[in-house]
A and B are shown apart, each in its own frame.
Chain A
Amino acid sequence: MCMSAIDTLGRGNTFVRTHPSLSLVFLVGFALGVDLVHGLYTGRIPLENVSRLFWNGLLVGLILGLAGIGLSMTYSILNFANFSHGDLITVGAFSGWSVTYLLAGAGVTEFGTRLLIDANLNVTVLGDPVAVVAGLVLASILTILIALVVDRLVYRPMRDSSGISLLIASIGVALVLRHLVAFVYRAHTRGVTGSERVDILPVLEGTGDVSVNTATLMIVAVALMIGVHLLVQRTKLGTAMRAMADNQDLALITGIPTERVVTWTWILGAGLTGAAGFLIVLERGTLDFNIGWGLLLLIFAAVILGGIGSIYGAIGGGLVIGLTQSLSTIWIPSDFATPAAFSLMILVLLFRPSGLFSGVTTA
């Protein structure tokens, strides 16, 4: 089985080298770039539009990247595509914002409506910094707890199963998580941070409207990414994770306690995912129980683009997907922004399955 996978990959690679389609893809990208520059130069494409789209794409990309790190880690260390990853985002978003609402609206509205994020509070970072920070932290912690429970109940008994069995089980987990959230919080879409974004940062005026919420998202996302980078590159645990992604069997006979590393993988991955869920709401302002599921395929796209197993790949892939989705609307109808991102993912899987940035593949 493994042999044939390697064979297929091997043949796939030779195919890439000889096949002209890949060059065509790059050619198209190049042509679009030239067209963009030309459009900007002649004024056919307004600079303002492009910078707004770029900014948007960057934000979405950061979120996708942040959420993608966790998916990439579990994909390479536990060897399966986790289809419940999107719903971990949902869990993070709901649990975190419950906490924020409990703190932010204390004494203003009823406990129950705050717990279920139904109170109409215009939470902003400047207005309720403590509540936001506490929500962010709790979003991570609660998501970690859920992920560990799921691992204990579902994935650990199946450690020796094939990646496909685990994938199918994760579809079941996705259904359970999402609809439990729906059961508790109901299905309606709620405005969470209010419609107005008042806190425009004065420093950044003129470069487009940057709300404090947006700025927070960027700062936290980048900080978390740097944190993960340090953890994975500089600590023994991080090294062990990379070692396991490289070669599970060798890790075992080298004396790395693999089960413990798996637990830490969930903790790290789910923590980031929960935080990403919280931050997405900060940026979007709205929340419903499909929020994570709707992002799942885009996150897969990001992870695949970057090369499964590489956290930098996930970040880079997230940015590419975010920007593709956003900037593609310069040329194609906005309805096709997401299909364009998916198409890019499919093309990468076809012609460069190890990812654009050639991360470590694990099969």
Chain B
Amino acid sequence: MSSPPTSDDDGGSRPDSDASSGSGSDSDPESRSLLPETRWQRDVILIFAMLFGIYALFALIGVALDFDTNGILNVLREITLFAAVYAMLVLALNLHWGYTGLFNIGVAGFMAVGVYTMAILTASPDATAPGFGLPLWVGIVGGMVMSALVGLVAALPALRLRADYLAIVTLGLSEIIRLTFQSMQFSNALEDTLGVATNGGSGMNFPGTRGVVQYAFYRGGDRTSEPTVLGDALFGLAESFDVLPLVVLGWGYNVVLGIGVIAFYVLLVRIANSPFGRVLKAIREDELVADSLGKNTNLFKIKVFMLGCALMGLAGILWQGQTGYTSPHEFRPELTFYVFIALIIGGAGSNTGSVIGGLVFGTLLFQGPLYVPRLLQEGLAVAGVELGTPPNTFYDAVLPLGSLDLLPMLAYATASTNVSYLRFVLLGVVLILVVQRRPEGLLGHRVETAAAVDLSNRSRSTATDGGNPESTSPVDEHDQESTGGHSARTADDGHGLSAVRDDRDSSATNGGHDE
């Protein structure tokens, strides 16, 4: 029952403490004051706990690899980038798939539309791939609007297609989009008609959202000019720890991404905890029921598709805006699958799960394996073993296995490109295992009630009006819940994060779950 992390919506009577409907807790509210009050607070703590745990892990990796402060900060900066970008993408996809049951596997395409629209709008008219040279915010808004419009085009088939057909349609659309941006002929046609270009497969440069940070840190947004007051202060502070300005700048951009994640999260939690989100869930569960209860499901699906696509476009803009360069190769269908893997790990249907899924995927699964070779080298070096140059081919690596010499194979497996292949193998295996063993992911089993207020907390005054003895209802409710909670817990033993389990223990609203 996560509620929006803002307090204005439910006034003073926030009843979100799930435990409050259980017996006992009401009698002694003071004793709980030190514990997190509500589920969303606990969720935020969970997210940050995981983030810092992962930071600690990667910092340790950095230390093990003899990185200096700048090196470690750079490692953390990079994983933060991926964690944030995936968190945003997963949140957007969760709106489609987790909430509404729309099986959209064209995420990469919608991102590409957003990014390219932004790039074309903002790129300088004198660049190799000229653009309109419009201000940044025009580019961002334009990119989102265009993604939403392409989403509208995709939503029309979504109105009546089976899930697997919708998947193929969206994947096809995303490939059409990618191939279009890859086309030099398309770029030339643009140049002839509008005077702008995309430069086909070579990609294009554009100002990018990193400009925001540069403007904040340097006068005029130019790295060669004087720092601003903020820049001066931060650079000075950093210098005292021997941290380079470039690293500070990078972390500055992470702040932008962090704000992005928070904005996405707040928006989506609000949608989730609202009558609007309730209709979306109903569409996911059984569209005919939602229709028969008077909901214009087509309209809801169109809205959701457009909003989700706009968010995917924005996430893409923030991602590619970090380098200020984009190319069609970034938007292969694999990208969509990564987002799906992250969503399934986190738990489709849960926004907190989405953030955690993005976090776990972007850091541990996506970036983590890339550090394995160097850790291995370091480890072996400590043991006095030299890994040596990797063999050129798999065959050369296999041959020594005959004489029980594992090192060449290890060296081959940890050569940089090969590690990335093995990483994809790992991702595939993880996906299969999650789908087979724990399809609800880390948090997908939770009851996250779609309502703007706590439904279990009815006001006592009207309860008496209802003619029911006031006391029976809450007691019944508690009994029911504790049995439901118990069965769910036993079914679940040995899975998931302990934090999650704690959460469930204290949560009173658990009606069991679906395996």
Residues of A in contact with B (beta carbons under 8 Å apart): 1, 3-5, 7-9, 11-12, 15, 80-81, 111-113, 115-116, 118, 154, 157-158, 161, 163-165, 167-169, 171-180, 182-187, 297, 300-301, 304, 333-336, 338-339, 342-343, 345-346, 349-350, 353, 363
Cα–Cα, bound, A175→B420 (Å): 12
Return 13 A-B CB contacts under 8 Å, by A number.
A9-B162, A112-B393, A158-B435, A158-B436, A165-B439, A167-B167, A168-B340, A179-B421, A183-B394, A185-B394, A186-B393, A345-B172, A346-B172
Give per-residue flags for B361-397: 1 if the beta carbon is below 8 A from chain A beta carbons, else 0: 0000000000000000000000000000000011110
Question: Contact check: which of B157, B182, B341, B425 meets A346 at CB < 8 Å?
Answer: B157
Cα–Cα, bound, A81→B425 (Å): 21
- Residues of B with C-beta under 8 A to A9: 162
Q: Shortest CB–CB separation between residue A348 and chain B, in angstroms? A: 10
- B169 contacts A346, CB within 8 Å? yes
Compute the total of residue contacts between A and B using a CB distance below 8 Å: 159
- A169 contacts B160, CB within 8 Å? no
Known: A168-B340, A173-B428. 18 other contacts (CB 8 A): A4-B288, A5-B162, A112-B393, A115-B395, A157-B436, A167-B164, A172-B431, A172-B435, A176-B428, A178-B424, A187-B417, A297-B175, A335-B182, A335-B186, A336-B185, A339-B179, A342-B172, A345-B168
Cα–Cα, bound, A350→B173 (Å): 13
Cα–Cα, bound, A69→B429 (Å): 27
- Residues of B with C-beta under 8 A to A118: 393
Residues of B in contact with A (beta carbons under 8 Å apart): 103, 157, 160-165, 167-169, 171-173, 175-176, 179-180, 182-186, 189, 286-288, 334, 337, 340-341, 344, 393-396, 399, 413, 417-418, 421-422, 424-425, 427-432, 435-436, 439
Cα–Cα, bound, A292→B344 (Å): 25
- Residues of B with C-beta under 8 A to A111: 395
Interface centre among B164, B394, B417 (most CB of A within 10 A): B164
- B393 contacts A116, CB within 8 Å? yes
- B162 contacts A179, CB within 8 Å? no
Cα–Cα, bound, A338→B169 (Å): 14
- Residues of B with C-beta under 8 A to A338: 175, 179
Cα–Cα, bound, A297→B173 (Å): 11
Q: Shortest CB–CB separation between residue B180 and chain A, in angstroms? A: 6
- A335 contacts B431, CB within 8 Å? no
Q: Shortest CB–CB separation between residue A55 and chain B, in angstroms? A: 23
- B432 contacts A169, CB within 8 Å? yes
Cα–Cα, bound, A80→B435 (Å): 14
- B164 contacts A163, CB within 8 Å? yes
Cα–Cα, bound, A363→B432 (Å): 23
- A175 contacts B427, CB within 8 Å? yes
- Residues of A with C-beta under 8 A to B182: 335
Q: Which 5 A-B residue pairs are closest in the complex by CB-CB distance?
A: A175-B428, A172-B431, A112-B395, A335-B183, A176-B428
- B183 contacts A343, CB within 8 Å? no
- Residues of A with C-beta under 8 A to B394: 116, 183-186
- B435 contacts A174, CB within 8 Å? no
Cα–Cα, bound, A301→B176 (Å): 13
- B421 contacts A182, CB within 8 Å? yes
Cα–Cα, bound, A359→B413 (Å): 46
Cα–Cα, bound, A301→B165 (Å): 11
- Residues of A with C-beta under 8 A to B417: 186-187
- A4 contacts B286, CB within 8 Å? yes
Q: Shortest CB–CB separation between residue A132 and chain B, in angstroms? A: 22
In the complex with contacts A157-B436, A335-B186, A179-B179 CB distance below 8 A: no
